[in-house]
Amino acid sequence: MAVSALYGAAVARSRNVPVSGTLFAGILTGLGGGMVRDVLLGLEPVAITGVQFIPAITVATVIGALVFYRIIAITVPNLLLHGLVFSLLISIGCQKAMVHGAPLASVVLCGVLTASVGGMAVDVLTRHRAAAFSQAHWVLTSLLIGSLAYWLAAVSLGDYAATLAAILVTTTLFTVSVLRDWPSPKWPGESTDMSA
C-alpha cells in the first residue's frame, strides 16, 4: 500500500496537481484497490481497521510528492517502479483471495482490481483516461498474466516464490510492451486513435 501511495502521489505531482490534491491522490492510490478487494471478499477493509495503514500511507505519499515525482519523469525507472507497484498489489490481492478460499477466477480478479483501482481513481481525478483501459500497451494484459503467474507459483511453490513470479512477469511484460511499443489487442475494425 505504501509503495502504491508513493507512486500515486508522484504521478499526481508530475501532473501539476496542488498539494492537497496530491496528498489525496496518494492516499487514495494506496487504499483504493485493497478496500475494493476486501469488500468483494466480504471482509472489513483492513486499511480502515488497522491503525498503522493510514499513517504509513500518508508518509509514503509525502515522500512520493517530494522525491519520487522526479524519478517517474525518467522513462525506464518510471516503468520499473510502476511494474513493481502493480506486482506487489497483485501479490497481496491474490494472496488474500486465496487465504479466504476464493476460486481461481476470483483470485485473478482480486489481483487485477487490487493493482488497478487506486491508479484508475487517480487517473480520473487528474483528468486522464485510466491506463488499464486506454493505454496502447499491455497494462491490463500484464495484470491478468501477473495474477495468473502468482496463483500458479503460490499453488506449487508458496507465497514468496509467487510474489517473485508476479514481480518478474508483470514488470517485464509491462516494461517491454511500453519500450517496444506493443499495442494492446484491438477488436477487428477498431480505430487505433486512442482519443476516439
CB 34 within 8 A of CB 52: no
Residue 136 confidence (pLDDT): 62
Residue 164 confidence (pLDDT): 96
CB 174 within 8 A of CB 79: yes
**Alpha helices by DSSP H, the chain:** 2-14, 19-40, 46-49, 53-63, 69-71, 75-99, 104-125, 131-134, 139-157, 159-179
Residue 95 confidence (pLDDT): 96
pTM of the model: 0.84
Number of neighbouring beta carbons within 10 Å of residue 63? 16
Residue 196 confidence (pLDDT): 45
Instruction: Give residue-wise pLDDT tens across range 94-146.
Output: 999 999 999 999 999 999 999 988 888 888 888 887 766 666 678 888 999 99
For the record, the C-alpha cell of 112 comes out as 487485477
For the record, the C-alpha cell of 63 comes out as 515522500
Residue ranges, the chain, pLDDT below 50: 196
